[in-house]
Amino acid sequence: MNAARVLKETGAAAVKMEGGAELAPTIRFLSERAIPVMAHIGLMPQHVHQIGGFKTQGKELTSHHAILQDAKAISEAGAFAVVIEGVVEPLAAEITHTISIPTIGIGASAVCDGQVL
């Protein structure tokens, strides 16, 4: 298992994965094997070309709903925390109040549980 090897060989405490609901099965698989996972949703730098550049996420109702569903899915799958990047403040607030894991904002306002500056 590559994730276990990464933790063992690097001394890292967890793995971070960009993506939402589509990663829930992988997050569940890793979590059930005691591999801590931090998820990353909203603006995902590794996916910037697929989403059309560095743009604020969650402005439209459909993307707002999709990102909220991503947050719920990764939380339920066992992620221990989630980075929320580049989303509008109302969405960051809704996610923070809806899921049970800590939210760490990057350009997602002060409504998250923590911030990366």
Structure tokens at 7: 């933790």
List the beta bridge partners of residue 104. Answer: 83, 114
pLDDT category at 94 given cuts 50, 70, 90 is: very high
Output the pLDDT for position 30: 95
Query: What's the whole-model pTM score?
Result: 0.87
How do residues 52-88 score in pLDDT, each as one tens digit?
666 777 688 888 999 999 999 999 999 999 999 999 9
DSSP 106: E
Q: When comparing pLDDT for 89 and 2, which is higher?
A: 89
How do residues 100-115 score in pLDDT, each as one tens digit?
999 999 989 899 999 9
CA 16, 29, 27: angle at the middle one, nearest 5? 30
Catalytic residues, by residue number, are: 85
How do residues 12-40 score in pLDDT, each as one tens digit?
999 999 999 999 999 999 999 999 999 99
Output the pLDDT for position 107: 87
